[in-house]
Amino acid sequence: MDVKEAVLRRRSIREFNDKPITDESIRELLESAMAAPSARNMQPWEFYVIKNKSLQKQLRGALPNANMNSSLIIIVAGNDQRGLTHQVNDYWIQDCSAAIENMLLTATSLGIASCWCGLFPMAERVEKVKEILGTADGIIPMALIHLGYGDAVAVPRTQYDEKRIYLYEETEKVL
């Protein structure tokens, strides 16, 4: 599958069957995530790979927005210690988002269904996940990614809309 096809085929899937994801595929997903660009290459991300069913159940119970039965959950978190300081500190959000999208596109190319569920900046969700995972200080859970195999077939699509594009053409030289 080429990149454009993966981009169009990636859709949020919210129903999964029990088929597990192999360790080899998990490794591919994480390699893709950590190939993402990051501001000053700080790589301010951490990945919590949750295969444990009881932990998955706890997370589902605590997060109504992410209450889905996938076989694998990966939580992507920002790491304050690795982030930039002062006014550029918030770049970690863009860095982690780039890592997530890389992971979702690779998942699609492997035939793995996914759903990105937001945590940060919802303080209550962030706190619940920190508590359940027992994360270290300075770790900010940003998104919970459900991964697994789905029986549903999602329609590939773009939502291309010309009205959202502002084109600045090359101006003609006036002599």
Give the residues lining the site for ligand FMN (CB under 6 A).
11-12, 14, 65-66, 115-118
Looking at beta carbons only, is 63 or 139 nearer to ligand FMN? 63
Question: Residue 80: which of 49, 47, 46, 50 has the closest Cα?
Answer: 46
Query: What tokens were used for 142?
Result: 């940003």
Q: What is the smallest separation between the CB atom of 124 and ligand FMN, expressed in angstroms?
A: 13
Q: Which is nearer to ligand FMN, 22 or 65 (CB)?
A: 65
| Residue among 1 and 136 whose Cβ is closer to ligand FMN | 1
Cβ of residue 32: shortest distance to ligand FMN, in angstroms?
Answer: 17
Residue listed under structure tokens 């998955």: 56
Q: How far is the CB of 143 from ligand FMN (least distance, A)?
A: 6
Distance, in Å, from the CA atom of 111 to the CA atom of 67, rounded to the nearest integer, reads 22
Q: Residue 41 burial (CB < 10 Å; 0-12/13-18/19+)? A: exposed
Whether 75 contacts 132, CB under 8 Å: no
Residue number of the CB closest to ligand FMN reads: 118
21 vs 115, which CB is nearer to ligand FMN? 115
Question: Smallest distance, Å, CB 70 to ligand FMN?
Answer: 11
Give the relative orientation of helices 91-109 and 23-33 as an angle to the nearest 10 degrees.
140
